[in-house]
Structure 1
Amino acid sequence: MIIKKSPAEIEKMAAAGAIHARTMKLIASKIREGVSTAELDQAAERFIRSQGAVPSFKGYRGFPGSICASPNAMVVHGIPGPYRLAKGDVISIDIGVTHEGWVADGAVTFAVGAVTPVAAKLLEVTRRSLFDAVEQCRPGNRLSDVSHAVQQTVESEGLSVVRSLVGHGVGRSMHEEPQIPNYGDPGKGPMLEPGMVLAIEPMTTAGRHMVRMGDDGWAIYSQDGSLAAHFEFTIAITADGPRILTPWHEGDDGL
């Protein structure tokens, strides 16, 4: 069942989302050669807690980190640790914030210094596919219109959508119905209605779409070792159109 939120509840989610966006901007300021993913995790946790919120991922199904930090061929669910960023890396930073019982979820893939043309294209196209998906988050559209928008943007550029991982509903729980694939024909699935809140998250690779599980049981990698990217917003469907509740893109810092 898709749990719709009242306007007041969406405002509470937006408050969590504002903390999320500030956390992402803090992490963006720390992305540089030599920084460890553990150091990024510690900075995020300290800041989230300073805002009266908690990191949603910490302890979720046993996950040990406060954020997911997934470099290069790792698509998602990277456990922060000793890995130090190197020039030319790309790294997905996925952050969940819970504030007063409401969850906000979002991700950005960052370039560490100058990256290859392939990496730059992957990040630009994946980010663009997220915004194209957001444009479909309007009452009267179907859920698969969102999915199709991602696929169309990504595959038209010769890149691949990871098919075994999905976005999801979000609210008081990290994962609610519905599941949101990043591919599919338009015009199918539930009709979008005001009050639905969705975590839309294109996950892509520069190679093929297949993935594999890492030895730690959490990290998911592109099967062929190609670079991966991941961008995510929490989006509320409103009568006036889509409302981005995790606005990490706002401002002039290049996110």
Structure 2
Amino acid sequence: MTITKAEELDGLKAIGRIVANTMHAMARAIEPGMTTRELDEIGRQLLEAEGAVSAPRSTYGFPGTTCISVNEEIAHGIPGDREISRGDLVNIDVSASKDGYFADTGASFLVAPKSPSLERLCRDGKRAMEIGIEQVGSGKPLAGIGKAVGRFASSRGYTLIRNLASHGIGRALHEEPGEIATWPTRGDRRHVDKGLVLTVEPFLSMGGMWATEGEDGWTLYSEPRAAVVQYEHTVVATDRGAIVVTMPG
């Protein structure tokens, strides 16, 4: 989606606030012993109360309201009977629509006691996303996002999952300009149009290179197996940089 009117930005900010508030409320509710289904139910109730509709469920028939991925699961984890334990790394990804607008956000959270190496990975994963967002602006190269994130990842000794990309969003969960690499690429000569709505969501890892699908047809795992974090915002490109619409409030 490319925004051309103020009311479009207002609509995106409204659903962006809803998914952000939902994700952060779910994160605050995490405690050892609860199942991922119970955590997802919190998200379902919050979205429903706001009149928002789960995007993965409505778009793809995903068997859950939100995606909750624990430890070796790196994305698209199905909420179920898995119990969250002390020390777990939990990724929560919330995307939803309201009034015809879609927004998508995600983050990784550690359950105490927290491993110092995973704390560092989380801190740097969030920074990788911020560095990617800094590359979003009218006329800038789309490939600049992956170039900057890749430079940061390499400098800290990390790898990036290279088949889970950012994407256009706005009037649908996934739309033009299609996939946007959050790792260094060659040959992508596309530029950011003013008003373009997109996600920025690098998957930073301690050795993982690819995402592979599990037996359930949804859950993704790192190949080779390694810890992975994801942080994601939905943003709008302007002449002055990016407007982040998935902010709690």
> Structure 1-normalised TM-score?
0.92
Runs of 4+ in structure 1 displaced over 2 angstroms?
Answer: 185-189
| Aligned residue in 2 for 1:75 | 74
Aligned pairs for 1:85-100 within 5 A: 85-100=84-99
State how 1:129-148 maps to structure 2 within 5 Å.
Answer: 129-148=128-147
1:20: Cα distance to partner?
A: 1.1
Distance apart, 1:101 and its partner CA: 1.1
Cα distance in structure 2, aligned partners of 1:81 and 1:51 = 24
Q: Specify the alignment match of 1:39 in structure 2.
A: 38
**In 2, distance between residues paired with 1:185 and 1:98?**
31
The answer to whether the Cα contact below 8 Å between 2:237 and 2:243 also exists between their aligned partners in 1 is yes
Aligned to 2:48: 49
> Does structure 1 conserve the Cα–Cα contact (< 8 Å) formed by 2:132 and 2:182?
no
The equivalent residue for 2:172 is 173
- Name the counterpart of 2:208: 208
Which residue identity does 1:212 align to in structure 2?
T
* Letter of the 1:240 counterpart: R
Aligned to 1:243: 243
Q: Summarize deviations over 1:24-58 as a string: whole Å, max 9, x none.
A: 12112112211211011111011111011111122
Cα-Cα RMSD: 1.6
Q: Could you list the runs of 5+ residues in structure 2 that have no partner in the other structure?
A: none
Gaps of 5+ in 1: 251-255
Q: Report the counterpart of residue 253 of structure 1 in structure 2.
A: none
Q: Deviations over 1:95-148 (max 9, x none)?
A: 012110110101010001122222112111111000011111111211011111
Deviates more, 1:93-102 or 1:179-188: 179-188
Larger mean Cα displacement after TM superposition, 202-211 or 230-239: 202-211
Partner residue in 2 for 1:197: 197
The match for 2:3 is 5
Give 2:43's aligned amino acid: A
| Structure 2 Cα separation of the partners of residues 204 and 74 of structure 1 | 14
Distance 1:12 1:164 in 2: 30
The answer to whether the Cα contact below 8 Å between 1:141 and 1:187 also exists between their aligned partners in 2 is no
1:178-208 deviations in Å (ceiling 9; x for gaps): 2111112589532212210011111122123
CA separation in 2, counterparts of 1:131 and 1:204?
Answer: 13
Instruction: Count matched residues.
Output: 247
The answer (yes or no) to whether the contact 1:142–1:186 under 8 Å persists in 2 is no
Aligned counterparts of 1:170 and 1:41: Cα–Cα separation in 2: 23
Cα offset, 1:60, TM superposition? 2.8
Q: Distance in 2 between matches of 1:18 and 1:158?
A: 34
2:152 paired residue number = 153
Percent of residue pairs identical:
32
Matched residue SS, 1:58:
helix
Q: Which residue of 1 aligns with 2:127?
A: 128
SS of residue in 1 equivalent to 2:74: strand
The residue identity in structure 2 corresponding to 1:229 is V
Does the aligned pair in 1 maintain the 2:204–2:228 contact within 8 Å?
yes
Paired with 1:223 and 1:93, the residues of 2 have a C-alpha distance of 20
